[in-house]
Amino acid sequence: MDRIASATFSCPAISMPRVCRVNPFGLNINTNHRKRFSCPIAVASGETTARVVDNELDLEHKKHDLLRAVQDTQRGLTATSDQRSIIEEALVTVEGFNGGEEIDLVKLDGTWRLQYTSAPDVVVLFEAASRLPFFQVGQVFQKFECRDRSDGGIIRNVVQWSLPSLLEEQEGATLVVTAKFDKVCSRNIYLQFEEISVRNININEQLQALIAPAILPRSFLSLQLLQFIRTFKAQIPVTATSPGRRSVGGLYYLSYLDNNMLLGRSVGGGGVFVFTKSQPLEL
């Protein structure tokens, strides 16, 4: 049978001679090789696409689990040890989805809103606001300016705060800590702090009425005072003043980044950060 299956013979010529191959099992053999191999390729491509879709759905579920874990902690202020353990586990799970990939500075560029942190220097602000009735902390952001860079850029840590008896609720004033950052490897950036400033002061209606009563003609002096308060900006440089001394800084590990979530770790035990993408912030 094997000899018959592999044998070849010359067919009677009709228009030109040709060589025929015996098909002992009566199978319809398609000699068009392009068509014959198109199906396996299509199947393989479909399986790859299905795996990518499954991974993306799994990632979105894990990100949702992380945000759900942090939502009742008041951005980390009231997190218990059990909650911190759950958050850390969820955070590590999300980090594993693009671990090892280099940070895309174009994707990093923009404004990110803080959802959770365990960093003591940020949590202390939330603690102060919870204890002091005259002090409020509003939204906290990180603003990266690095779209046209490949090696670093500028980062601004932004805290909106208020003294309700004098300023507008939540957004009475803005504290901005500005630093330069350089990429030191695929995911680590080194921050060198340059300046601390207070700006965007918005006094409340009661104080405005005290400075320039609505029922009286506003004098040039009162209008100038209101304008001065609105445009006031206090700046304190934090760069090194002595030659050879390095500016205050620190290493920041960007452990996860996509179009709508940023996770970071302050190297040296400074805490973890969970951010989501926000609308552009004008300073």
Q: What is the pLDDT of residue 21?
A: 47
pLDDT category of residue 16 using cuts at 50, 70 and 90: very low
> Which residues, including other chains, have CB under 8 Å from residue 130's CB and lie 6 or more apart?
77
> Residue 44's pLDDT band (boundaries 50, 70, 90)?
low
The reply to whether 218 falls in a domain is: yes
Higher pLDDT, 8 or 244: 244
- Beta bridge pairs of residue 182: 152, 190
For residues 176 and 197, the answer to whether their CB atoms sit within 8 Å is yes
Q: Per the domain annotation, does 7 fall within a domain?
A: no
Mean pLDDT of the chain: 81
Mean pLDDT of 164-181: 90
Q: Which of 15-29, 95-109, 259-273 has the lowest mean pLDDT?
A: 15-29
pLDDT at position 43 over 60: no
Is pLDDT of 253 > 60? yes
Count of domains for the chain: 1
Domain range for 181:
103-239+247-277
CA angle (161 as vertex; 90, 238 as ends), nearest 5: 85
CATH number at residue 195: 2.40.128.280
Asked whether the predicted pLDDT for residue 34 surpasses 50, the reply is no
119: in domain: yes
Is the residue at 261 inside a domain?
yes
Q: Is residue 20 part of a domain?
A: no
The radius of gyration of the chain's CA atoms, rounded to the nearest angstrom, is 32
- pLDDT by residue (tens digit) across 72-122? 999 999 999 999 999 999 999 999 998 778 999 999 999 999 999 999 999
Half-sphere exposure of residue 9: CA atoms within 13 angstroms, side-chain side: 8
CB 169 within 8 A of CB 136: yes
Quote the pTM value: 0.75
Does residue 98 sit within a domain? no
Q: What's the confidence (pLDDT) of residue 242?
A: 56
β partners of residue 273? 117, 264
Check residue 64 and give its pLDDT.
97
Would residue 81 count as lying in a domain? no
